[in-house]
A = this chain, B = another copy of it.
């Protein structure tokens, strides 16, 4: 490991922006090969972040040792230390959120305001991730299935219940025929007979997954019903018994998870389905 001195050494750029600034200042007085490094680094930051000295050096047309000298010229101990800055940049957008979060955490204890800010920050982060990671094909096929269904059956217990009850409300308001499956155990099982193959089953469950929900979905799926699952991981047991899986990583604060992101996705789906139904019913 590197010395602790570095942490307080003001000569070491601590983020990508200041590193870029440093490079541009020093580039005037740089000899040929170091300039070559500078150009390459600014043009291919991703490669610096992920590559090894050997790979990068050969791509930039210099020696590995030159790369080390380059990093040292900029104030770093060596190449590895500089590389971390490039890696931080690659992780990208998240850095601004984590920065604000540490500020919130530093600023003090569990005041209502700080809890709220923390949840809000994480929710925003989580929303970004949602848009970035969403499988639009899966989303489209979910919407198609829900649009084509005669009745949409909705199933979700515990934390997932608010999600499906909101879908029930929203879809209902748009004139889509929905059926909210409630109750547990045997009562729930009995509902299965009312789900026809022309229908769709929208099911949601999060870790720790409700066994009764998975089981009912599994039986419906086995009978040929379109099953759309909204869950938190592809490892979810529901993933194996559904036609389409929508994955969402919910924001959390300590051990507690909000529903912000999940609700955003659910609402979007409801609106898309409502929209699609409107067009098909008009024709």
Q: Residues of A at under 8 Å CB distance from B?
A: 20-21, 23-24, 27-28, 38-39, 42-43, 46, 49-50, 87, 90-94, 97, 101, 110-113, 115-117, 119-120, 123-124, 127-128, 130-132, 134, 136, 139-140, 143, 158-159, 161-163, 165-166, 169-170, 233-235, 239-240, 249, 251, 253-254, 256-261, 263-265, 267-272, 275
Contact = CB atoms under 8 A, between A and B. Distances in A.
B260 A127 contact: yes
Contacts of A131: 97, 101, 113, 116-117, 120
Contact of A39 (B43, B46, B235, B240): B235
A129 to B, nearest CB: 10
Given A21-B234, A46-B91, A162-B162, A264 B169 contact: no
22 contacts: A20-B234, A27-B235, A46-B94, A49-B50, A90-B90, A90-B91, A90-B94, A97-B132, A110-B275, A112-B139, A112-B140, A112-B268, A112-B269, A116-B130, A119-B267, A119-B268, A119-B271, A124-B127, A166-B259, A256-B271, A258-B267, A259-B259
A166 B162 contact: yes
Contacts of A143: 112
**Identical copies of this chain, number:** 2
Contacts of A234: 20-21, 23-24, 42
A116 B235 contact: no
Nearest to A35: B235
Contacts of A116: 130-131, 134, 139, 264-265, 268
